[in-house]
Structures are given as C-alpha cells and as structure tokens.
Structure 1
C-alpha cells in the first residue's frame, strides 16, 4: 500500500501545481489568452500526468501491489470528479473543442489555439511523468521503467471493432456532455465522472477506453503492435465519428455545416393553451357580430 500512497500524493501534487498555474495565468494573461491557451494547457497537463500514473497502476497494481480493479476504478472516479471541479471550463480533449467549433461556440483561430495548447500540455505531462518515474520512488515505478521500452499496444481486438468501441465511447460521452452542458456543476461533474468510469470499465479491456485523441497519442502511439495508421483509425477517427454522431442526434444538424434540421421538424417554442385560444375566440364573436350588424344596416331615408 506504500506505493499506492505515493501515487495518491502525486495526484494531489499535480492538481495543486496545475491550480497554481491557472491562478498565475489569470493574473498575467488576458481573459482570451487564458481561456484558449493557458487553461487548456493546464488541464491537459493535469489530465495526462494523472492518467499515465493511473494506467501504470492498472498494469502493475494487480500483481505488484495486490489490489484489484475496484481500487483503480474508485481512483478514476475521484480523479475525474476533481478534474471536472478544477478544470475551470477546459476540455483537455480535441473532440470537445471541435464540437464547440461545430456548434458555433468558438471560431477557427480559438479552436486551433486550443488544440495546440492541448498537444503541448499532453506532451509536457508525458515528460513530467517520465521524469517522476525515473526517480523510482516505489517498486511500481521501478517495474515501470524496466518494461517501458517494451510497451505493447492497447488494442486487444480487431481494428474495426476497436474503432467501433472508441467511437461508441465517444458517442456516449458527448451525448451526456451535450445533455448536461446547461446543468449545474454539482450535477454535471459527478455524472460525467460516472460516465467515464463506466466506459473505462466496459471498454478498457479492448482499447484502453481513451476516447481522447491527444491522450491516446502520448500514451499508446509509441508502443509496438500496431502501425501509426492503425492508431489514427482507432483513436482519432473513431472518437471524431462518435462525436459527430452524438452532435447530429442531439441537435438534428451540425450548425457549422448547415442550418436546416435533418432529423427533427421545426416547431414553435411558444404554444398557446387551447383554453386561452377558445376564450379569445368566444370574446371576439360579439365584436364580429356588431361589426356585421353595422355593415348590414341600411341607411334611413
């Protein structure tokens, strides 16, 4: 359990350091630069380092530490709850940023900046975690350093099935995200954390359940077992297709591409109650009669 305690302390340290980075960025940068650059960089750094350490526990913990998947899933839920609370609106996910672009919530320059910041944050998180592992503070990290050069692909099924699994995870995640986007954080954060935990538990044995192209790129693209194009199909095209399907199902269209609703008929948002319409019609009848009588009356001689 000593190794697990060190990992938990590492999680707290990473969250605290990224929180300090956010506060400093708010003071030094303009709101626009903070929103699309510093906030995404800090969120991606926090997500990448946490997920890499958690992935190490998933691979080594059961036989090196004697704890089961229930411990890892509990940590995963708690971590994503903390991430949702501390991210300050950052997505740290390229498909979420592209979804905002397609919904006309951000322009092309802002989206490109967010994608760049996410890539830099993920790369920095990978470098920081590798440095942390090199200190070999626990026997987990010692084992991780020994097997790091021989890591294998996270794809443990056929290529088409793997792309379908990642696409389905992305579809469900984005559908929940779209449904809860206007909800209060106290409801949205645990709901998203529960969704991520469930999807990881269900799809993890097949693909690792990343449904985040940037996170998958720094985590598994360098491992042997599949080509770069295989990874692109599974971890880039799969989540992107799932996001587009969720957006189309939820919105009925993709606002950036076309305005017409393809799935749902357009109806007026405001409906007049039938009782009120009937009362209005009955109230108008005497006036209509009076007007009719006045128009039909003949002039007196």
Structure 2
C-alpha cells in the first residue's frame, strides 16, 4: 500500500499547487484573462495530472499492488468531487466550452482562448507527470516506465462500438450537467462526480471512458494499435456528437445556430384575458348602435 499512499500524496500536491496558481493569477490578471486563460490552464493541468496517475493505478494496481477496482473507483469519485469544488468555474473539457458557445454564454474569441488554454494545460500536465514517473518513487512508476514505450490502444472493441460508447458517455454527462447547471454546488459537485464514476465503470473496459477530447489526446493518441483517424472518430467526434445530442434534447434547439424550438412547443406563462363587451350607458339606458352606423375602432392588422 506504500505505492498507493505516494499516489494519494501526489493528488494532494497537484490540487494544492494548482489552487495556489489559481489564486495568484486571479490577483494578477484581469477577470477576463483569468476566466478564459489562467483558470482553464490550471484546471486542465490539475485534471490531466490526476487522471494520468489514476489511470496508471487502474492498469497496474490490481496485479502490481493487490487492490481491486473499488479502491480506484472511490479515488475517482473523490478526485472529481475535489475538482468540481476547486475548479472555480473552469471546465477543462473542450466539449463543455463548445456547449457554452452554442448556448450563447461565451463568445467565439473567449471559446477559442479556452480551447487553447485547455490544450496547453493538458500538454504541460502530461510532461510534468512523465517527469514525476521518471523518478520511480514506487514500483508502480517503475513498471509504468517499462511499459510506457509499448503502450497499446485504449480502444478494445470495434470502432463503431467505441465511438458509440464515448458518445453515450458524453451524452449522459452533458445531460446531467445541463440539468444541474443552476443547482447549488453542494448538489451539483457530488452528482457530477457520481456520474463520472458510473460512466468510467461502465465504459472504461471498452475505451477508457475519457469523453474529454483534450484528455484523450494526451493520454491515448500516442499509443499504438489504432490510427490517428481512429482516435479522432472515437475520442473527438464521438463526444462532440454526444454533447450536441444532449443539448438538442434538453433545449429543443441549438441557440447559436437557430432560435426555433424543434422538439418542444413552448406555452406562454401568462394568460391573456378575454375581451369583455362594455355597454356605454347614457342615463339609465344602454346606447346601441344605429343600424348602418360605422364603427370608430380600427380594424385588426
């Protein structure tokens, strides 16, 4: 269990360093630069390093450390709960940033900046984690260094099945995210962490259950066994299609592309009272229009 304790200490260190980075950049940068650049960079760095270390435990832990999947799933839930509480609004996921753009919540320039920051953060996270593994602090890291150059593809099923699995995970994740968008973080964070844990348990043996294009690019694209275009179809197009399907099902439309609701008929919240005929009274008798007298009211357009 010594190797597991080192990994847990690594998780704490990563979260702490990224939290310090967030606090420093929040003071030094403008709100716009912090929200689009520094916050996403720190969140992506934290997510990438944590997920790579956890993925190493998933692959090596059961036979190298003697602990079962229950330990890894518990760590996964706790990690994503910590991520949700510490990200300060960052998504660290390109499909979430694109969803915000399609919902008219983010401009094109802001979305492009977020995507660049996420790619940079993931790349930095991959480089730092490889350096950390090279120190070989545990037997897990020693084994990881030995097999790193000959890693095999994370796609362990047919391409169509793999793309469907990644798309389905992205669909369910984004559907939960849309449903909980306005919820209090006390309810939102554990619900999203539980969703990620369940999806990873269900689809992990098939594709690794990334449903995050940036994370998949640094963690899986360099492994042999599948072509670059196979990875694009499974880990980029699959999650993107799942996000678009969830958005269309939840909203009934995609606000950035068209305003008309294609799936649901929206009812007005306000009832229009029916017009009442009011008789104008002269004295005690109602005044009636004479036969052939023209009305002074304007016709409806």
The Cα of 1:267 is off from its aligned counterpart by 1.4
The residue that corresponds to 2:111 in the other structure is 111
The residue that corresponds to 2:145 in the other structure is 145
The residue that corresponds to 2:156 in the other structure is 156
The residue that corresponds to 1:5 in the other structure is 5
1:20-39, aligned counterparts within 5 Å?
Answer: 20-39=20-39
Alignment check: 8 A CA contact 2:279 2:286 kept: no
The Cα of 1:266 is off from its aligned counterpart by 2.4
The Cα of 1:293 is off from its aligned counterpart by 4.0
Q: Does 1:294 align with 2:292?
A: no
CA distance in 2, matches of 1:288, 1:215: 73
Q: Does 1:244 align with 2:255?
A: no
Give 5+ residue unaligned stretches, structure 1.
none
The residue that corresponds to 1:101 in the other structure is 101
CA distance in 2, matches of 1:196, 1:17: 24
The residue that corresponds to 1:63 in the other structure is 63
What secondary structure, in the 3-state scheme, does the structure 1 residue paired with 2:181 have? coil
The residue that corresponds to 1:78 in the other structure is 78
Give 5+ residue unaligned stretches, structure 2.
291-301
Superposed structure 1 runs of 4+ greater than 3 Å apart: 287-293
Q: Name the CA shift for 1:106/1:296 in 2 (closer, same or farther; >3 Å).
A: same
What secondary structure, in the 3-state scheme, does the structure 2 residue paired with 1:151 have? coil
The residue that corresponds to 2:224 in the other structure is 224
The residue that corresponds to 1:201 in the other structure is 201
Which moved further from structure 2: 199-208 or 257-266?
257-266
The residue that corresponds to 1:184 in the other structure is 184
The residue that corresponds to 2:135 in the other structure is 135
| Count of residue correspondences | 289
Alignment check: 8 A CA contact 2:104 2:255 kept: yes
The residue that corresponds to 1:212 in the other structure is 212
Alignment check: 8 A CA contact 2:279 2:287 kept: no
CA distance in 2, matches of 1:270, 1:295: 34
The Cα of 1:296 is off from its aligned counterpart by 3.6
The residue that corresponds to 2:297 in the other structure is none
What secondary structure, in the 3-state scheme, does the structure 2 residue paired with 1:79 have? helix
Higher helix share: 1
The residue that corresponds to 2:91 in the other structure is 91
CA distance in 1, matches of 2:36, 2:289: 74
What secondary structure, in the 3-state scheme, does the structure 2 residue paired with 1:150 have? coil
| 1:119-156 Cα deviation digits (max 9, x unpaired) | 00000000010000000000000010011001001000
